[in-house]
């Protein structure tokens, strides 16, 4: 922190308390947080969901979202106390001196107006620039942020521009009045890794160039390591610790912070295919598929999954990995090719499969919220497959449900009669696993099962899945976009891009060069904990050879 | 641009098909009746002979499909045959009355639409205040009241007790436009009350629905004052639902008019239809129904096309 | 003159008391009423003032009754339900109270009404006295008794038609959502066609063909309104069908009936109940309109819509009697709408259409 002088303090938050409205009462969600930000400093706010990072970000603008209220504490921005200022005074700061970059640019740009009209709105409103001046400025900023066709792209509507470009256009919009402070609220969370990297590079450049102070909110440690001078870790509305980035990475003080760092270390030994020539459990053979009336989304996809092994299918959004799962389960009948189970061809459409074929392919979903019926008791959710496939009833059924709850490490007596909304995210995901196990399958498809969960919870789920695999001899098809997960749990890896299998093989080979160029791009785009990672990568590849430029 | 035109044409085609199906429905429903028009005209006492003669004269001895096609091709050129009761051409009695009905509906619409949208935006702006609550109660009350309730209240207070306006909206030749507006004020006001309340509520809902969108929060975080947020950021995206609301209510005006015409003894198609129904004069009933249905379908079509045209995604394709 | 003085003294005393005890909203209401009364009193004189006083008094009475009724409901219901009821605004409580009153009137009509439904007791249009609370109608029947019986007939018929419309529409909607494909398309198109004819016009056409027997009215009205229920159910179920838990159940091999009963219905009760209320209002108003046109419930059965028509001539003599059955219709519809409005706000998954 020595880099910044005491007199240059821009934002000073003291003992901030914020309440949120839930269940007809106000409950505290921020419980006394202090924050000091100097001019030109970039602070990373990091924490799991529910830590209150976004709420603090909004509070730094003197803004309380619908259903929240600032109950006490002081927020001093450049000598002006925001908590006692009038709404008009606070509003006058927003957009002009404090700007905001939202998580989803696609949703945060108004679909009815052109990008450049939204860009010039704030400067014109505050009479900082004339409309034409501001348009010129927008084009300059677009160029600096390396957007293609900087003089033309602003005249498009949001839906005509890709996600990564929109995020950069939104950063440009935040810069339109040259604010003193920008709040970045998870600006790259919704993007693919290869797109994320160019947005990160662009944001870092422009913040450096204009010496703007920033609060960078994210849940991704590796990302914040690239962006921030200092890092503040939050947990459930309270500060855990604050350090400079280097110090935080090398020598975290608190147990919670240490545990966050340790998450990435779980790795189980890799298994090899059986050498006795036995057939694969699931065999995907030359699958082509298309949604009704649409273009082909899968093109000649083939891979095998052997008993007791984990095959990770990786790729970015639109690569066809989830569609492959739909073909295997029979929800989307393929237009060519076939799915074999132990050498037997499965009917293409799930309605043509018999119960025994159906029970063999179970799914665990990404969003446990939508995967469990909120109005059905836990015992019925887990009990139904057992009753349906094995015909268990009465005490036998109850015993089986208890057994399954034991397997997923939830106490039967406590959870038997509860409903999904009463459970935490990790517990719901465990129930989802138990439901799959209740069918007694040999094969389970895990569709991004950990990506909606906080890191520590995700870690627990991965360990549970690993233990179950060893105990029950299950085979997993593990769909993910997260290479860290692949490293920790996979035996074999299938890389997909635009509906095609680009490369496949055992994990150890896949993480060693030489690679297919796309695999290489994918691997190198995953942020690492090293604060110099982005700088080094940009030096290696050059600014024009990252992100969209490199994929096309 | 091709996409847009294609979509619009598709909607138009769909509307045409719907109209065709509705015409079939209207025509053949009447055919379900025991007996036929000839029997209806002559009554129970008529002999076989006379019934058959009239049947031949009216062409009722031909197959159903032929008669339907005949009826339909006539209807396209506004020829709906002759009344079963009076024997006069249907078009002659409907024509001027249809103009009257349209006049009344337009009169109400011209007042109601701008007021409703303006007030709708206003209550959205002042949502959750006392003003909003009172507006909510008043509009709900207005929607819930049958048209004849509102109509008779207006008659009682504005015609009988104060004689500001005539209670009966009879029209006569050679009236000045001002006189016309004065005579038809009460029925128009009744329609305005019902329709405004409805449109206001839906405009409010359409705007409030959008207020939770991230781009509205973005506009607020850019420092835009509440008025600008609503008018510049919410309203342009609310046009599609608002157009739908307006079309729906204009369509409603066309039918709501039936009850109001009866209350105020206004010489419109609604009156005619009600009379025809109680006299079981089917050619007239069919003609009125087809006209109402066609207007209704046309308005809904206009709403659909309007929705397509105001969608930025469709207007500015990738 | 003493009324005017007393009126202002009461208002000002009330405002002062409210201000003194720190009840801001009460004070604002009372004092703005005082100010409004000053202006109206100067323009309209004592008559206008009396009118305002009566209106304000009625409003206060309605609010007090609603408040008591809500507290009563909270006290007698189970904890889970009373927690919900506590959040009900006064308008919703008022709605519930009105519905409750109508139900009582409808169920116990023969015991409440002083005379029979179609009993001729005096001469036509006899004025009101102690025996005839609201006077007599065009045939010399007691209007008050007929209004009480009307609660049973008009509301009962509407309820029957709504239930039938609901059964048809909800079943078709759920099936369409689960089956999808051609069945969904066919149902959707059919609904479109029925909805493309204005409901009142459709009803008039059908009634002119099939006559005005009660069961005919019920079936016709049910058919006309079932597409609305269909669309809503289809939309609500459509949002549920895309959930992963439905996919999981389908992949398990569950049949359509299990999906509807166990997975979809438990998640769509709130919007469906609200829709039932809304639907009832539409049906009720349509039947009232038909009766008013003389094409609904036929005499001598007492019905509010036809009562308005029968006594409409009284209006031109400045008599409000025909407005009473019309008001009864409006009051019930308003009441149901108030309750529905609150329920929609609670579930808020469904925006009003």
- Tens digits of per-residue pLDDT, A275-297? 777 788 888 888 888 887 677 88
pLDDT of residue C350: 36
Task: Tally the domains of chain A.
Answer: 3
- Picking from B217, B222, B312, the nearest residue to A121 by CB comes out as B222
Q: In this complex, is the C-beta atom of B165 within 8 Å of any C-beta atom belonging to chain C? A: no
CA distance C240 to chain B (A): 20
Neighbours of C191 (CB within 10 A): 21
Same structural domain for residues A488 and A341?
Answer: yes
For residues A75 and A490, give the distance between their C-alpha atoms in angstroms, rounded to a whole number: 48
Place of tokens 């469990």: A372
- If you count them, how many residues does chain B have? 318
- Picking from B214, B223, B233, the nearest residue to A91 by CB comes out as B223
Residue A107 domain-assigned (yes or no): no
CB contact under 8 A, C251 and A371: no
Residue A127 domain-assigned (yes or no): no
Same structural domain for residues A332 and A456?
Answer: yes
pLDDT > 70? residue A4: no
Q: Neighbouring chains of C at 3+ CB pairs within 8 Å?
A: A, B
Residue A39 domain-assigned (yes or no): yes
Of the candidate ranges A220-234, A263-277, B68-82, C331-345, the one whose mean pLDDT is the lowest: A263-277
Residue of A nearest to C256 (CA): A351
pLDDT > 60? residue A37: yes
pLDDT tens track for A218-262: 888 888 888 888 888 888 888 888 888 888 888 888 888 887 776
Are residues A44 and A216 in contact, defined by beta-carbon separation less than 8 angstroms?
yes
Q: Taking the alpha carbons of C256, C261, C263, C268 in that order, is the dihedral positive or negative?
A: positive
- Picking from A91, A102, A112, the nearest residue to B218 by CB comes out as A102
Dihedrals φ, ψ of B21, to 5°? Answer: -60, -40
Sheet holding A42-46, edge to edge: A98-101, A181-185, A213-218, A42-46, A230-235, A238-244
Using a CB-CB cut-off of 8 Å, the residues of chain A touching C87 are 24
Mean local confidence (pLDDT), B162-187 = 80
Cα B2 to chain centroid distance, Å, stands at: 32
- Any bridge partners for residue A312, and if so which? A478, A493
CB contact under 8 A, C245 and A372: yes
Residue of A nearest to C254 (CA): A388
Q: In this complex, is the C-beta atom of C99 within 8 Å of any C-beta atom belonging to chain B? A: no
- If you count them, how many residues does chain A have? 552
| Burial (0-12, 13-18, 19+ Cβ within 10 Å), A543 | middle
The percent of residues above 90 in pLDDT, for chain C, comes to 16
| Burial (0-12, 13-18, 19+ Cβ within 10 Å), C42 | exposed
Are residues A441 and A360 in contact, defined by beta-carbon separation less than 8 angstroms?
yes
The percent of residues above 70 in pLDDT, for chain C, comes to 98
pLDDT > 50? residue B169: yes
Q: Which domain holds residue A418?
A: 372-440
> Both tokens of residue C247?
């996919």
Same structural domain for residues A428 and A298?
Answer: no
CB contact under 8 A, A111 and B212: no
C-alpha distance from residue B106 to each of B187, B247, B251, B255 (Å)? 12, 12, 11, 13
For residues A198 and A204, give the distance between their C-alpha atoms in angstroms, rounded to a whole number: 10
pLDDT > 90? residue A546: no
pLDDT of residue A550: 54
Residue A43 domain-assigned (yes or no): yes
The percent of residues above 90 in pLDDT, for chain A, comes to 8
Q: In this complex, is the C-beta atom of B292 within 8 Å of any C-beta atom belonging to chain C? A: yes
Cβ–Cβ pairs < 8 A, chains A and B? 72
Mean local confidence (pLDDT), A165-187 = 88
pLDDT of residue C353: 30
For residues A129 and A122, give the distance between their C-alpha atoms in angstroms, rounded to a whole number: 9
| Burial (0-12, 13-18, 19+ Cβ within 10 Å), C284 | buried
pLDDT of residue B58: 66
pLDDT of residue A292: 73
According to DSSP, the β-strands at A238-244 and A181-185 are unpaired
pLDDT > 50? residue B113: yes
| Burial (0-12, 13-18, 19+ Cβ within 10 Å), A271 | middle
Same structural domain for residues A6 and A60?
Answer: yes
More confident: C136 or C151: C151
CA distance A22 to chain B (A): 17
Give the model's confidence band at B268: pLDDT under 50 very low, under 70 low, under 90 confident, else very high.
confident
pLDDT of residue B307: 83
pLDDT of residue A25: 78
For residues B35 and A435, give the distance between their C-alpha atoms in angstroms, rounded to a whole number: 64
pLDDT of residue C352: 32
CA distance A383 to chain C (A): 12
pLDDT tens track for A364-392: 998 888 899 988 999 999 999 988 888 88
Give the model's confidence band at A31: pLDDT under 50 very low, under 70 low, under 90 confident, else very high.
confident
Residues 65-84 of A with CB under 8 A from B: 65-66
Are residues A293 and A268 in contact, defined by beta-carbon separation less than 8 angstroms?
no
Mean local confidence (pLDDT), C32-57 = 81
| Burial (0-12, 13-18, 19+ Cβ within 10 Å), A34 | middle
pLDDT of residue B36: 62
Using a CB-CB cut-off of 8 Å, the residues of chain C touching A363 are 247-248, 251
More confident: B139 or B169: B139
pLDDT > 60? residue A438: yes
Same structural domain for residues A253 and A401?
Answer: no
Q: Which residues of C288-314 are buried (b: 16+ CB within 10 A; e: fewer)?
A: bbbbbbbbbbeeebbbbbbbbbbbbeb
Q: Neighbouring chains of A at 3+ CB pairs within 8 Å?
A: B, C
Most distant CA atoms of chain A, gap in Å: 77
Same structural domain for residues A344 and A385?
Answer: no
- Any bridge partners for residue A12, and if so which? A36, A76
Are residues B112 and B249 in contact, defined by beta-carbon separation less than 8 angstroms?
yes
Same structural domain for residues A23 and A71?
Answer: yes
> What does the angle CA B95 – CA B100 – CA B103 come to, to the nearest 5 degrees?
125
Q: Is the omega angle on the peptide bond into residue A514 within 30 degrees of 0, that is, cis? A: yes
Same structural domain for residues A352 and A477?
Answer: yes
Give the model's confidence band at A313: pLDDT under 50 very low, under 70 low, under 90 confident, else very high.
very high
Are residues A105 and A167 in contact, defined by beta-carbon separation less than 8 angstroms?
yes
Using a CB-CB cut-off of 8 Å, the residues of chain A touching B313 are 111, 157, 159
Residue A551 domain-assigned (yes or no): no
For residues A119 and A102, give the distance between their C-alpha atoms in angstroms, rounded to a whole number: 14
Same structural domain for residues A455 and A348?
Answer: yes
- If you count them, how many residues does chain C have? 353
CB contact under 8 A, B29 and C206: yes
C-alpha distance from residue A310 to each of A93, A241, A319, A507, C346 (Å)? 53, 38, 20, 10, 46
According to DSSP, the β-strands at A238-244 and A344-345 are unpaired
Q: In this complex, is the C-beta atom of B156 within 8 Å of any C-beta atom belonging to chain C? A: yes
pLDDT tens track for C229-238: 998 899 889 8
C contact test, residue of B29, B146, B165 with most C CBs within 10 A: B146
> Both tokens of residue A404?
């399954």
Residue A118 domain-assigned (yes or no): no
Residues 6+ apart with CB under 8 A from A86: none
Residue of A nearest to B236 (CA): A112
Same structural domain for residues A396 and A341?
Answer: no
Query: In terms of Cα–Cα distance, which of B276, B151, B24, B99 is closest to C204?
Result: B276
pLDDT of residue A1: 46
Beta strand segments in chain C, E: none
pLDDT tens track for C141-160: 888 888 888 888 889 999 99
Residue of C nearest to A389 (CA): C252
- Domain CATH number, residue A334: 3.40.50.300
- Picking from C247, C262, C267, the nearest residue to A374 by CB comes out as C267
pLDDT of residue C347: 67
Same structural domain for residues A400 and A251?
Answer: no
CB contact under 8 A, B160 and C204: no
Same structural domain for residues A258 and A385?
Answer: no
Of the candidate ranges A426-435, A458-467, B124-133, C274-283, the one whose mean pLDDT is the lowest: B124-133
DSSP designation for A8: G
CA distance B165 to chain A (A): 46
Residue A4 domain-assigned (yes or no): yes
Give the model's confidence band at C170: pLDDT under 50 very low, under 70 low, under 90 confident, else very high.
very high
Query: In terms of Cα–Cα distance, which of A315, A334, A349 is closest to A499?
Result: A315
pLDDT > 90? residue A86: no
C-alpha distance from residue C159 to each of B109, C101, C165 (Å)? 33, 16, 10
Q: What is the 3-state secondary structure (H, E, C) of A169-215?
A: HHHHHHHCCCCCEEEEECCCCCCCHHHHHHHHHHHHHHHHHHCCEEE
Mean local confidence (pLDDT), B40-61 = 71
Using a CB-CB cut-off of 8 Å, the residues of chain B touching A61 are 221
Half-sphere exposure of A111 (CA within 13 A, CB side): 18
Of the candidate ranges A255-269, B18-32, B112-126, the one whose mean pLDDT is the lowest: A255-269
C-alpha distance from residue B79 to each of B72, B82, B281 (Å)? 9, 9, 16
Mean local confidence (pLDDT), A509-514 = 78
Give the model's confidence band at A548: pLDDT under 50 very low, under 70 low, under 90 confident, else very high.
low
More confident: A35 or A514: A35
Residue A366 domain-assigned (yes or no): no
Q: In this complex, is the C-beta atom of B314 within 8 Å of any C-beta atom belonging to chain C? A: no
Domain with CATH 1.10.3720.10 in chain B: 96-315
ipTM for the whole complex: 0.85
Sheet holding A500-506, edge to edge: A361-364, A443-447, A475-480, A310-314, A492-497, A500-506
DSSP designation for B197: H
CATH class, range B96-315: mainly alpha
CB contact under 8 A, B276 and C208: yes
Mean local confidence (pLDDT), B253-271 = 85
Global pTM reads 0.84
pLDDT > 80? residue A350: yes
- Any bridge partners for residue A20, and if so which? A27, A68
A contact test, residue of C249, C252, C258 with most A CBs within 10 A: C252
pLDDT of residue B167: 77
Residues 203-222 of C with CB under 8 A from B: 204-209
């Amino acid at each position: 922190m020595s880099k910044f002088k005491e007199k240059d303090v821009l934002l000073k938050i003291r003992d901030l308390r914020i309440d949120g409205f839930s269940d007809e009462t106000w409950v505290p969600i921020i419980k006394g947080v202090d924050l000091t930000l100097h001019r030109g400093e970039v602070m990373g706010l990091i924490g799991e969901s529910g830590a209150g990072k976004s709420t603090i970000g909004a509070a730094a603008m003197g803004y309380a979202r619908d259903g929240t209220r600032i109950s006490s504490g002081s927020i001093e921005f450049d000598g002006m106390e925001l908590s006692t200022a009038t709404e008009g005074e606070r509003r006058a700061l927003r957009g002009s001196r404090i700007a905001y970059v939202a998580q989803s640019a696609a949703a945060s740009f108004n679909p009815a107006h052109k990008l450049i009209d939204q860009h010039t709105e704030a400067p014109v409103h505050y009479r900082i620039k004339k409309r034409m001046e501001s348009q010129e400025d927008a084009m300059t900023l677009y160029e600096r942020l390396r957007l293609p066709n900087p003089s033309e792209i602003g005249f498009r509507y949001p839906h005509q521009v890709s996600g990564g470009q929109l995020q950069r256009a939104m950063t440009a919009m935040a810069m339109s009045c040259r604010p003193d402070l920008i709040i970045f609220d998870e600006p790259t969370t919704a993007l693919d890794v290869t797109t994320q990297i160019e947005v990160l590079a662009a944001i870092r450049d422009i913040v450096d160039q204009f010496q703007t102070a920033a609060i960078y909110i994210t849940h991704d440690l590796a990302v914040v390591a690239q962006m921030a001078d200092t890092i503040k870790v939050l947990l459930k509305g309270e500060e855990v610790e604050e350090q400079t980035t280097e110090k935080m990475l090398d020598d975290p003080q608190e147990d919670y912070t240490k545990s966050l760092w340790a998450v990435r270390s779980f790795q189980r030994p890799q298994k090899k295919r059986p050498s006795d020539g036995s057939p694969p459990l699931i065999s995907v053979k030359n699958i082509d598929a298309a949604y009704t009336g649409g273009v082909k989304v899968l093109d000649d996809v083939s891979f095998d999954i052997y008993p007791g092994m984990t095959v990770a299918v990786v790729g970015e959004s639109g690569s066809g990995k989830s569609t492959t799962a739909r073909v295997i389960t029979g929800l989307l009948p393929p237009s060519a090719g076939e799915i074999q189970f132990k050498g037997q061809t499965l009917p293409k459409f799930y309605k043509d499969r018999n119960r025994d074929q159906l029970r063999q392919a179970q799914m665990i979903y990404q969003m446990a919220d939508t995967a469990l019926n909120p109005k059905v008791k836990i015992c019925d959710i887990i009990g139904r497959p057992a009753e349906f496939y094995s015909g268990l009833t009465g005490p036998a059924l109850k015993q089986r449900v208890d057994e399954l709850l034991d397997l997923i490490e939830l106490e039967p007596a406590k959870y038997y009669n509860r409903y999904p909304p009463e459970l935490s995210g990790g517990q719901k995901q465990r129930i989802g696993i138990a439901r799959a196990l209740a069918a007694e399958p040999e094969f389970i498809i895990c569709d991004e099962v950990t990506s909606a969960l906080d890191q520590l919870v995700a870690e627990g789920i991965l360990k549970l899945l690993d233990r179950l695999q060893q105990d029950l001899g299950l085979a997993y098809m593990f769909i993910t976009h997260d290479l860290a997960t692949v490293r920790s749990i996979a035996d074999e890896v299938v890389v997909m891009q635009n509906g095609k299998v680009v490369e496949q093989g055992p994990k150890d080979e896949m993480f060693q060069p030489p690679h297919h160029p796309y695999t290489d791009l994918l691997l190198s785009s995953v942020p690492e904990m090293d604060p110099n990672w982005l700088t080094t990568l940009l030096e290696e590849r050059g600014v024009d050879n990252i992100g969209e430029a490199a994929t096309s | 641009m091709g996409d847009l035109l294609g979509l619009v044409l598709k909607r138009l085609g769909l509307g045409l098909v719907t109209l065709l199906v509705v015409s079939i429905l209207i025509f053949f429903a009447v055919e379900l009746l025991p007996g036929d028009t000839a029997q209806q005209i002559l009554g129970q006492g008529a002999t076989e002979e006379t019934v058959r003669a009239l049947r031949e004269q009216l062409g009722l001895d031909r197959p159903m499909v032929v008669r339907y096609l005949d009826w339909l091709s006539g209807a396209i050129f506004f020829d709906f045959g002759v009344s079963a009761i009076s024997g006069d051409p249907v078009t002659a009695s409907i024509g001027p009355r249809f103009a009257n009905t349209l006049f009344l509906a337009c009169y109400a619409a011209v007042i109601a639409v701008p007021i409703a949208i303006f007030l709708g935006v206003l209550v959205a702006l002042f949502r959750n205040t006392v003003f909003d609550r009172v507006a909510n109660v008043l509009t709900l009350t207005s929607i819930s009241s049958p048209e004849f309730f509102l109509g008779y209240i207006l008659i009682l207070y504005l015609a009988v007790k104060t004689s500001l306006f005539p209670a009966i909206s009879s029209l006569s030749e050679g009236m000045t436009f001002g006189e016309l507006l004065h005579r038809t004020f009460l029925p128009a006001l009744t329609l305005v009350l019902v329709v405004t309340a409805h449109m206001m509520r839906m405009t409010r809902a359409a705007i409030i629905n959008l207020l939770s969108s991230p781009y509205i929060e973005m506009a607020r975080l850019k420092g835009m004052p509440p008025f600008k947020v609503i008018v510049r950021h919410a309203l342009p995206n609310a046009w599609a639902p608002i157009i739908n609301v307006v079309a729906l209510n204009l369509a409603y005006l066309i039918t709501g008019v039936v009850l109001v015409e009866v209350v105020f003894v206004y010489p419109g198609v609604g009156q005619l239809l009600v009379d025809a129904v109680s006299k079981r004069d089917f050619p007239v009933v069919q003609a009125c129904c087809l006209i109402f249905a066609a207007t209704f379908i046309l308005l809904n079509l206009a709403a659909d096309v309007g929705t397509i045209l105001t969608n930025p995604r469709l207007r500015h394709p990738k | 003159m003493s009324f005017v003085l007393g009126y202002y003294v009461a208002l000002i005393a009330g405002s002062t008391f409210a201000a003194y005890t720190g009840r801001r909203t009460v004070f604002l209401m009372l004092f703005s009423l005082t100010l409004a009364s000053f202006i109206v009193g100067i323009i309209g004189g004592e008559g206008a003032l009396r009118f305002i006083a009566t209106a304000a008094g009625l409003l206060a009475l309605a609010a007090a009754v609603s408040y008591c009724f809500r507290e009563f409901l909270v006290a007698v219901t189970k904890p889970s339900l009373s927690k919900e009821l506590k959040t009900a605004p006064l308008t919703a409580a008022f709605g519930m109270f009105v519905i409750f009153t109508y139900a009582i009137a409808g169920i116990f009509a023969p015991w409440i009404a002083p005379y029979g439904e179609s009993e001729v007791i005096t001469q036509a249009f006899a004025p009101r006295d102690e025996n005839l609370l609201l006077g007599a109608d065009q045939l010399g029947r007691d209007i008050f008794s007929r209004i009480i019986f009307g609660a049973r007939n008009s509301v009962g018929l509407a309820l029957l038609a709504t239930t039938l419309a609901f059964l048809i529409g909800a079943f078709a909607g759920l099936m369409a959502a689960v089956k999808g494909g051609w069945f969904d398309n066919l149902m959707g198109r059919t609904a479109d066609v029925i909805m493309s004819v204005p409901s009142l016009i459709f009803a008039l056409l059908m009634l002119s063909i099939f006559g005005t027997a009660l069961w005919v009215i019920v079936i016709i009205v049910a058919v006309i309104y079932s597409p609305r229920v269909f669309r809503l159910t289809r939309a609500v179920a459509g949002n549920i069908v895309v959930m992963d838990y439905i996919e999981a159940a389908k992949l398990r091999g569950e049949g359509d009936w299990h999906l509807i009963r166990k997975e979809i219905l438990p998640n769509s009760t709130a919007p469906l109940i609200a829709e039932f209320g809304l639907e009832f209002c539409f049906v009720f108003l349509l039947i009232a309109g038909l009766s008013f046109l003389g094409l609904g419930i036929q005499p001598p059965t007492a019905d509010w819509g036809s009562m308005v028509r029968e006594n409409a001539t009284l209006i031109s003599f400045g008599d409000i009697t025909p407005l009473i059955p019309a008001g009864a219709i409006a009051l019930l519809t308003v009441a149901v709408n108030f309750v529905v409005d609150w329920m929609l706000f609670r579930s808020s998954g469904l925006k009003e259409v």
